[in-house]
Amino acid sequence: LSESVIRGIIRAVGLECGARGQALSETLVAFVVKAVVLHPRNYFSMGQILGEKDMQDLIQLCVTRLLDTTNPSLSTIKMQVYFDMNYANRAELLREQQHVLEGKLAPVVRDITDSCPCVQEEMEQVYQKIVIYVLLRSGLGSPTDIEAVREVTAALQSVFPQAEMTTFISLSKKDKEQQLKNLTMLVTGIRLYNKESGKGGSSIDDLPAILNEAIPSATETVNEGLNTCHVLAHKYTALLESMQEDSHRYMQLSSFKLTEALFNVRQYEAFLCILLHDAVTSAQEVETLTVQFAAAMMQLKNTVQDKVSIDSEEVFPLFVELSKLWTSFQDEMLLLSFLTNMTDNLQQFSEIQSQLFPEEMLTSLLEGVTVKSDEERIRETMGTRVNVSDFENQEWLFPESTDNFDQLLIQYHSFCAHAIGVNGLTLPGNPAIGILRHKQKCYVFSSREAAYIFAQDPDKFIQLNVEKAKEYPELIHLLELHHQFEYLFPHAQARNADKCLVKPTAKCDSSTQTDTHILPPTIVTSYEWNEWELRRKAIKLANLRRKLTHAMQTDLSHMKRENSTQVYLPKDVGTQTKRDNSSNVPKPQIFLKGLRGESSPATHMVKVDLTRAVDET
């Protein structure tokens, strides 16, 4: 079966299911097609050349498998496909959300950064677009909320008045985008402070309070689902063990799909554990953020203290810090919504349990059967341990002799490596018994006896587990056996290498090079071992001593060479040869009396000098 033939079969199966009213994803159809090829009872192989009849038989088998809604195995595969295509960890989800936000804001950013307003009216329009951008990016209100728009406008004018639009327009596109982000953080911080002070923020939700109430509720929902899974898994395991111990019970229960139901519950349990871990991480993150936000708000209040004017270099970083912390709260809200949706959507894939095994039926089937929990099974084997001296060529790991014992990567999702292939059971392994390291892989066991049997021929039981996965293809994902079936699931089939159902093993070409000489070279390049070469060099040197170099210049050639001279450039120098001076002397004032004459014939003239003295001037 070549890849092109399989792709054709996948298309044909998808069309046939669609014609019967079941619209299925291509990923699900592809997995089921390859699972049918894998199943040993169908007698197909990857190297087989199919005739027309065989092709139709394969298509019919796949369609029948996909339309059998009473089979827990199909529900498990659907659950695996859904989780693998939709789940993302914290970093991936936040990165994707940031990418979506940037895409939504791109038209607004483009309108702002590409505009070149010239008149006042155009500048006001660009300013209003900046207000809308800040409101959208902060996520604190809607552009249709007049009160929110007024708050953003007032906060923006306090840090970026319209008079600075001219400077903003002169910036480069990249600098404009960065300033828009900075303004968003400042305005967000101001609005949060105003909300805390009771001066606005009616459109801002109290995210810390909402998260502190919603996360425990979501965690409780996941815990309830996990408890249900544990109870069902313990009951199914007990029934399957009773079937293997009693032939009468085997005949009674063989018609029930207990093995498929057990794998369905275990897979649901594994996914819920992942979601529970995310919920606990979110709760811890929210607790830390709440403390940091309260401290930042208190520091901001102490800095402001009803002052009329505050240094921007002192208060702006506090506003930015508030904004960043609030953005983290918004991220936690997104993660909580994603966690809730995943929990709700996964539940549909476990509903088949109540349909196939109602509570009354399970109760009747379990009469006289002892149900043990996973914790009880582990407690029963805590006192037993593998004796290393019984094995010469096997490596056993124990807690007291192994560093990072709890962080070892255990195969088969930490289930007993012996019980899977032999009994078709997913029993919890107990590391205290001893972890077997075989070909750089670690295996755990549910009992000392299982460990001894497996260690006698590990490769045999590993192959049994592979054969069991061919019979129940949902085990490929549950037991993380992707590397065992890599040849059947090349990642070229996947739409996304990061989200494919069967993740390929990472491979790359690499090379290393060792320095030939680590120490600095000590080779003398001028050394010669050849005597005749030394003679040639000596003759060259002897001939050079007899050579002379002559040069002359004629009247016709002296103009052909370059000449240069250097002179001192003139410099500005100033001297002073005289100076202007002045003094103030008294103005002469002389009064003569008697020049016009008198009644007497003789003229008497009196001269009066009214000139002031020099020292009085």
Give the model confidence (pLDDT) of 528-557 as tens digits.
889 999 999 898 888 877 777 666 666 666
| Distance of alpha carbon 188 from alpha carbon 195, whole angstroms | 11
Give me the helices (H) in 140-257, please: 146-159, 165-169, 173-196, 207-245, 247-253
pLDDT at 87: 92
Q: Does residue 257 form part of some domain?
A: yes
Same domain, 56 and 140: no
Domain count of the fold of the chain: 4
Same domain, 378 and 405: yes
- The region of weakest confidence among 2-16, 81-95, 157-171, 369-383 is 2-16
CA distance to 487, 553, 562, 563, per residue, from 559 (Å): 84, 10, 8, 9
The residue-averaged pLDDT of 414-434 equals: 92
Which pTM does this prediction carry?
A: 0.74
Of 433, 461, 484, the last residue of a domain is 484
Q: Does residue 179 form part of some domain?
A: yes
Same domain, 284 and 327: yes
Mean of all residue pLDDT scores within the chain: 85
pLDDT at 48: 64
Q: Does residue 94 form part of some domain?
A: no
Q: Does residue 599 form part of some domain?
A: no
At 383 the three-state DSSP class reads coil
Reading the block at residue 475, the tokens are: 């085990």
Q: Which of 105, 126, 124 is nearest to 114 (CA)?
A: 126
Same domain, 155 and 52: no
Reading the block at residue 510, the tokens are: 């690499």
Residue 33: Cβ-neighbour burial (10 angstroms; 0-12, 13-18, 19+)? buried
CA distance to 19, 106, 163, 180, 281, per residue, from 110 (Å): 46, 6, 22, 12, 37
Same domain, 222 and 313: yes
Q: Which of 165, 130, 122 is nearest to 149 (CA)?
A: 130
**pLDDT of 462 above 60:** yes
- For the stretch 172-207, pLDDT in tens is 889 999 999 999 999 999 999 989 888 887 888 899
| Distance of alpha carbon 332 from alpha carbon 278, whole angstroms | 11
Q: Does residue 22 form part of some domain?
A: yes
| Distance of alpha carbon 496 from alpha carbon 410, whole angstroms | 27
Residue 458 domain boundaries: 374-484
Q: Does residue 600 form part of some domain?
A: no
Of 443, 463, 484, the last residue of a domain is 484
Same domain, 188 and 237: no
pLDDT at 551: 66
Residue 439: Cβ-neighbour burial (10 angstroms; 0-12, 13-18, 19+)? exposed
Same domain, 319 and 441: no
Residues 6+ apart with CB under 8 A from 398: 385, 405, 434, 435
Residues 501, 27: contact at Cβ < 8 Å? yes
Q: How far is CA 12 from the centre of its chain?
A: 38
Same domain, 317 and 212: yes
Of 304, 336, 366, the last residue of a domain is 366
The residue-averaged pLDDT of 69-86 equals: 91
| Distance of alpha carbon 174 from alpha carbon 182, whole angstroms | 13
- For the stretch 209-262, pLDDT in tens is 999 999 999 999 999 999 999 999 999 999 998 888 877 777 777 778 889 999
Same domain, 414 and 456: yes
Q: Does residue 587 form part of some domain?
A: no
Find which of 61-70, 404-413, 447-456 is predicted with most confidence, using mean pLDDT: 447-456
Same domain, 233 and 253: yes
CA angle 490, 494, 497 (to 5 degrees): 90
Same domain, 362 and 231: yes
Which residue would you say has higher pLDDT here, 199 or 309? 199
Residues 373, 440: contact at Cβ < 8 Å? no
pLDDT at 345: 93
Same domain, 420 and 473: yes
Q: Does residue 304 form part of some domain?
A: yes
- The region of weakest confidence among 136-150, 408-422, 594-608 is 594-608
